[in-house]
Amino acid sequence: QDLLNRAKKLKNVGNVEFGQGRWQMAIESYREGLAELPDTRAHGRSISLLLTTVDTAALESKPDYVKAIHRRATANEAIGKWGSLQSALDDWNKLETLSTTPPSLAPQIKAAQRRLPEQIKVQQEKEKDEVLGKLKDLGNMVLGKFGLSTENFKLQEQPGGGYGLSFQQ
């Protein structure tokens, strides 16, 4: 309980720093607060989400701030969702175009540009399948009241494009 209270206090300090535009001090307070909590995968995603928020705010006043773009790209990769991975790739691509990007980042940028497109495709498919599964469950719940299920309906691709729907008992 003491650890949780200390973490909350540090989060509040970070919020004040963030509100006053002191991004780096806010990040440090947030990191200290998060360090007080037990480490979990969700905890790591929370840190990454927080960093993307702080870095995005920093970029509003200085759009070509290389350090913030780099941190946000790394944090978005750690979040691992389709949209986050796409944002990470966009940030890596932007870093490649900026003249202020240190040459030492070039290998990291190239590696991300090779790695992320496939990860984005895989995550996109995974999230699409999850949504379709949930929609199918919802459809089965509604159709079940009439003694039917989504399995009674088949989509058939038409030669000229589009789909036809057929009912099967």
What pLDDT is attached to residue 163? Answer: 86
What pLDDT is attached to residue 94? Answer: 96
**Per residue of the chain (169 residues), what is the pLDDT tens digit?**
677 788 889 889 988 988 888 888 888 788 788 777 766 555 566 666 666 777 677 777 788 989 889 988 988 888 889 999 999 999 999 999 999 999 999 999 999 999 999 999 999 999 999 999 999 999 999 999 999 998 888 888 889 888 888 888 7
- What the chain holds in terms of domains, given with CATH numbers, is 39-167 (1.25.40)
What pLDDT is attached to residue 26? Answer: 84
> Residue 74: enclosing H or E segment and its boundaries?
helix 66-79
Torsion of CA 101, 104, 106, 110, to 10 degrees: -130
What pLDDT is attached to residue 126? Answer: 95
Question: 0.75 cut: is pTM over it?
Answer: no
